[in-house]
Amino acid sequence: MMKDILQQLEERRETARLGGGQKRIDSQHGRGKLTARERVELLLDEDSFEEYDMFKTHRCTDFDMQNNKPAGDGVIVGWGTINGRMVYVFSQDFTVLGGSVSATHAQKICKIMDMAMQNGAPVIGINDSGGARIQEGVDSLAGYGEVFERNIMASGVVPQISLIMGPCAGGAVYSPAMTDFIFMVKDSSYMFVTGPDVVKTVTNEHVTAEELGGASTHTKKSSVADGAFENDVEAIAEVRRLVDFLPLNNREKPPVRPFFDEPDRIEDSLDTLIPENPNTPYDMKELITKLADEGDFYEIQQDFAGNIVTGFIRMEGQTVGVVANQPMVLAGVLDIDSARKAARFVRFCDAFEIPILTLVDVPGFLPGTKQEYDGVIKHGAKLLFAYGEATVPKVTVITRKAYGGAYVVMASKHLRADVNYAWPTSEIAVMGAKGATEILYRSELGDEEKIAKRTQDYEDAFANPFVAAERGFIDEVIQPRSTRKRVARAFAMLRNKKQTMPWKKHDNIPL
């Protein structure tokens, strides 16, 4: 008798685990997608998944739904570990009613989000859903609303990561949109507010789902997503790598990993990184990887606004967020896209106690009507604001140009940066020598010899780090080869930094 009961539990579990049945599982596999359960298994450490609400069903009776009540209601929820550290997970099951969101499906997601907030661990959401369950109407919409509110409350409290692994359309996109990072899978996921059919009707544009809201669109054009991956397996592996950099919540420091790289490693090659000609580009990523423990750099938004580089490294085993101008793309100028990209990254780091390293080689802001009409003033201010409000340890290294407003924006001393270094190759000034001479000596412009002399004089006097260093705006001019050591020691010195803000309800960052 007892044996039967135990047996029955196993049978019920088996049925629940099969989701929408073998045929639909095969169809999911046929599209190159893993099932909701396979994704969870792959994401978490082996045998670490604790599932909740496996038998939860919807209570809808419209459209004969009382006769179609699959166990689990189209989403798998619970917690487990990633390299031993706790995370909460939900994974929508497209084989069950298209992964559509009912009132109970939403309740399951809310349950683990509440636990994540209470117990201080990240939430990872795997999205693969036809959206609001049509049979449930407004109950479904209410469910989405409850999830949205939790996304907002959790923002800045626990890291939230979204994997998009199938359809994600309509208002459903706004839950991932409010999380910290969105990863998409190429050719099998899409996100849009209105689909291709509605677009055709309203604007007469003909566009495929992939063009409108695929991984490529969102990582290259819209910047809605932070990374695009070849398949489910790769995307999940990259989420595991990302989680290793992050703290579990905003009251904890990021994890410290054993490291196998001398903090005072000297990199002689950096002494020749900067080309003779100030207009010749070089790859800032070379500097980043040479500063990082074991050369490991986890880039965020690699395919968008390449003129600024954002991502995570470790120094002495501790996570550091890096923001760096990239001279290889648009000479490293700041513009709307790069300012928005970096501002969001800086705010993430600040919210989660991740120190920020800023590497500066910036000729200024991108000129043009397009930039001005699209609001470069407001968007550029986002980055300025983000740096200025951040209270985490901030270390800045100027490698070459730091001109004008962009000098101030890029974590200058004036924005409460803690340690500001400059390489001897730095030029910290209002603008480059040529531009400055042309304005200051306009009347001499016809006389090439005079202008050349003026330019040379300006270069000698101002195109260097020492004017700023004399004023204490630069703490020290350092040898490029010793940068890793200097930066690592600066962060070590800042480990117990505490900085407070004036009382306010919240700020009013120029959104």
Instruction: Check residue 429 for interaction with ligand HXC (CB under 6 A).
Output: no
Stretch that binds ligand HXC, among 39-47, 162-170, 337-345, 484-492 (CB under 6 A): 162-170
Residue (78 or 176) nearer to ligand HXC, CB: 176
Residue (134 or 430) nearer to ligand HXC, CB: 134
Residue (157 or 193) nearer to ligand HXC, CB: 193
Q: Which residues pair with 86 in a beta bridge?
A: 81
Q: How far is the CB of 172 from ligand HXC (least distance, A)?
A: 4
Instruction: Check residue 170 for interaction with ligand HXC (CB under 6 A).
Output: yes
Query: What amino acid is encoded at 359 in this protein?
Result: L
Instruction: Check residue 304 for interaction with ligand HXC (CB under 6 A).
Output: no
Instruction: Check residue 109 for interaction with ligand HXC (CB under 6 A).
Output: no
Q: How many CB atoms lie within 10 A of CB 404?
A: 18
In this structure, what are the phi and psi dihedrals at residue 229, rounded to the nearest 5 degrees? -130, 160
Residue (106 or 478) nearer to ligand HXC, CB: 106
Give the distance from CA 362 to its chain's centroid. 22
Instruction: Check residue 134 for interaction with ligand HXC (CB under 6 A).
Output: yes
Instruction: Check residue 169 for interaction with ligand HXC (CB under 6 A).
Output: yes
Q: How far is the CB of 143 from ligand HXC (least distance, A)?
A: 8
The candidate with the shortest Cα–Cα distance to 86, out of 291, 247, 237, is 247
- Tokens 């809605």 belong to 224
Give the distance from CA 470 to its chain's centroid. 37
Q: How far is the CB of 97 from ligand HXC (least distance, A)?
A: 5
Residue (145 or 375) nearer to ligand HXC, CB: 145
Q: Determine which residue in the list 144, 229, 423, 473 makes contact with ligand HXC, applying CB under 6 A.
A: 144
**CB-based contacts of 284-289 (< 8 A; 24+ apart in sequence):** 284/309, 284/324, 284/325, 284/326, 284/327, 284/328, 284/332, 284/359, 284/361, 284/399, 285/309, 285/324, 285/326, 287/324, 287/359, 287/399, 287/483, 288/313, 288/322, 288/324, 288/359
Tokens for 367, please give them.
């000129």
Give the distance from CA 207 to its chain's centroid. 28
Residue (170 or 435) nearer to ligand HXC, CB: 170
Instruction: Check residue 321 for interaction with ligand HXC (CB under 6 A).
Output: no
Tokens for 344, please give them.
């969001």
- Residues 16-35 contacting ligand HXC, CB under 6 A: none
Residue (167 or 214) nearer to ligand HXC, CB: 167
Q: How far is the CB of 473 from ligand HXC (least distance, A)?
A: 49
Instruction: Check residue 390 for interaction with ligand HXC (CB under 6 A).
Output: no
Q: Determine which residue in the list 32, 171, 375, 424 makes contact with ligand HXC, applying CB under 6 A.
A: 171
Q: Determine which residue in the list 77, 132, 274, 487 makes contact with ligand HXC, applying CB under 6 A.
A: 132
Catalytic annotation, residues: 170-171, 405-406
Instruction: Check residue 130 for interaction with ligand HXC (CB under 6 A).
Output: yes
Q: Which residues pair with 356 in a beta bridge?
A: 321, 394
Taking residues 77 to 106 in sequence order and writing x for each that binds ligand HXC by CB under 6 A, - otherwise, the string is --------------------xx-x------
Q: How far is the CB of 500 from ligand HXC (least distance, A)?
A: 38
Residue (134 or 256) nearer to ligand HXC, CB: 134
Three-state SS for 220-255 is HHCCCCCEEECCHHHHHHHHHHHHCCCCCCCCCCCC
Q: Determine which residue in the list 172, 184, 339, 417 makes contact with ligand HXC, applying CB under 6 A.
A: 172
Q: How many CB atoms lie within 10 A of CB 317?
A: 15
Instruction: Check residue 131 for interaction with ligand HXC (CB under 6 A).
Output: yes
Stretch that binds ligand HXC, among 167-175, 285-293, 372-380, 496-504 (CB under 6 A): 167-175
Q: How far is the CB of 15 from ligand HXC (least distance, A)?
A: 17
The candidate with the shortest Cα–Cα distance to 323, out of 337, 311, 333, 332, is 311
Rg over alpha carbons for the chain, rounded to the nearest Å, is: 26
Residue 313's Cβ-side half-sphere holds a number of Cα atoms within 13 Å equal to 28
Instruction: Check residue 137 for interaction with ligand HXC (CB under 6 A).
Output: no
Q: Which residues pair with 422 in a beta bridge?
A: 398, 477
Helix (H) or strand (E) holding 82: strand 75-82
Tokens for 293, please give them.
């423990």
Instruction: Check residue 167 for interaction with ligand HXC (CB under 6 A).
Output: yes
Tokens for 131, please give them.
């959206």
**423, 397 Cβ separation under 8 angstroms:** yes
Q: How far is the CB of 385 from ligand HXC (least distance, A)?
A: 30
**360, 421 Cβ separation under 8 angstroms:** no
Q: Determine which residue in the list 54, 110, 141, 178 makes contact with ligand HXC, applying CB under 6 A.
A: 141
Residue (65 or 408) nearer to ligand HXC, CB: 65
Which chain residues interact with ligand HXC by CB under 6 A?
A: 97-98, 100, 130-134, 141, 144, 167, 169-172
